[in-house]
Amino acid sequence: MELKISVKAPAKINLSLDVLRKREDGYHEVEMVMTTVDLADRIDLVHLETDQIIVDVSEGFVPNDERNLAYQAAKILKERYNINKGVSIYITKRIPVAAGLAGGSSDAAATLRGLNELWQLNLSLDELASIGTEIGSDVAFCVYGGTALATGRGEIIERIPSPPPCWVVLAKPPIGVSTAEVYGKLKVDQITHPDTKAMVKAIEEKNFTEICSLLHNVLEDVTFKAYPEVKHIKAQMERFGADGVLMSGSGPTVFGLVLKESRLNRIYNGLRGFCSNVYAVRLISQQHLDKNRTKV
């Protein structure tokens, strides 16, 4: 039996984010196109003979107790499958926190995948995704990774092919945004909706220009109003020549899709001039993800 396993927990970006309506259960009915990028946290899982879950995080301000989504993932699996051993979870954070990149959800998903191996549970990705839904709406998507259309409250996942390979510049101003607050301020009846079907088609056809022109996130206006610096970053990224620019999730991270490597440096360096957290990464295809899931 393996005693230690390391798992990658990649960030996601939203190529499209629509809100259809507010449901009676308080959640919003959404339609999101999401894709993983190669900015990832590292999760080290170490088998413990004692019956406990220990969490340690490289970032001091991320909770290391039952509030941590990776802890919750371990707890659910432990209870559901009567595991009487424990695990030590060490999280090396690289994904900025409260950034709209699903860092916490991805840590939970990676913990589910890793413990599935460590505890030899033999659960399918579908089963892990269904368990993930109990932790948070984005966890199911993060269990699969790659590219998907997410509906319902975000937990119903239809996997679609990867977009064509490109660079992604991520820029995050030094603020954290509360997803619940942004959804709370959204006026659902005043939304201009994205064309989600057209986005899925453009991705399936690997039409990069069309993907860029269809980028749309209905939460942008709410976050832009509360944090004008996010709107400014979007404008700067467009000015520096990104092919398509959008805020991810509820923000504040803004991403730019860039086809030509020659343009990447200009955009990256231009943003570094006034934004402390800037990353140049790539989209991850499903094949790459499947091959490299446990390599860190």
The encoded tokens of residue 276 equal 């402390």
Q: How far is CA 60 from CA 51, 55, 172, in A?
A: 25, 12, 19
155 binds ligand ATP (CB under 6 A): no
Instruction: Identify which range of 23-31, 45-53, 59-67, 273-281 contacts ligand ATP by CB under 6 A.
Output: 59-67
Q: Is 165 annotated as a binding residue?
A: no
Q: How many CB atoms lie within 10 A of CB 127?
A: 14
CB of residue 195 to ligand ATP, shortest distance in Å: 23
How many residues bind ligand ATP (CB under 6 A)? The answer is: 21
Q: How far is CA 164 from CA 4, 208, 238, 245, in A?
A: 35, 7, 20, 16
- For ligand ATP, the closer of residues 59 and 210 by Cβ is 59
CB of residue 59 to ligand ATP, shortest distance in Å: 8
16 binds ligand ATP (CB under 6 A): no
DSSP 66: T
64 binds ligand ATP (CB under 6 A): no
Q: How many CB atoms lie within 10 A of CB 156?
A: 17
- For ligand ATP, the closer of residues 42 and 263 by Cβ is 42
Please classify residue 232 by burial: count the beta carbons closer than 10 Å to its beta carbon, then call 0-12 exposed, 13-18 middle and 19+ buried: middle
Rounded-to-integer distance, Cα 108 and Cα 16, Å: 23
Q: Given candidates 33, 62, 73, 150, which one binds ligand ATP under the rule CB under 6 A?
A: 62
- Residue bearing tokens 């559901």: 80
The runs of H, that is alpha helices, within 14-164 are 69-80, 103-118, 125-133, 139-144
Q: Which amino acid is at 119?
A: W
109 binds ligand ATP (CB under 6 A): no
Q: Given candidates 32, 98, 150, 169, which one binds ligand ATP under the rule CB under 6 A?
A: 98
100 binds ligand ATP (CB under 6 A): yes
Q: Given candidates 69, 140, 202, 203, which one binds ligand ATP under the rule CB under 6 A?
A: 69
- For ligand ATP, the closer of residues 92 and 213 by Cβ is 92
Active-site residues, by number, are 12, 138
Q: Is 102 annotated as a binding residue?
A: yes
Say if residue 252 is preceded by a cis peptide, omega within 30 of 0. Answer: yes
The encoded tokens of residue 272 equal 């570094």
- For ligand ATP, the closer of residues 74 and 264 by Cβ is 74
Q: Which amino acid is at 75?
A: K
Q: How far is CA 108 from CA 26, 229, 258, in A?
A: 23, 30, 30
Q: Given candidates 76, 77, 87, 101, which one binds ligand ATP under the rule CB under 6 A?
A: 101
- For ligand ATP, the closer of residues 91 and 275 by Cβ is 91
Q: How many CB atoms lie within 10 A of CB 101?
A: 27
Tell which positions 230-269 bind ligand ATP, by CB under 6 A.
249-250
The encoded tokens of residue 96 equal 């900025």
87 binds ligand ATP (CB under 6 A): no
* Pattern 158-197, ligand ATP, x by CB under 6 A: ---------------------x------------------
CB of residue 91 to ligand ATP, shortest distance in Å: 6
Q: Which amino acid is at 121?
A: L
Enumerate the known binding-site residues for ATP: 96-106
| Chain residues in the site for ligand ATP (CB under 6 A) | 62-63, 67-70, 91, 97-105, 107, 138, 179, 249-250
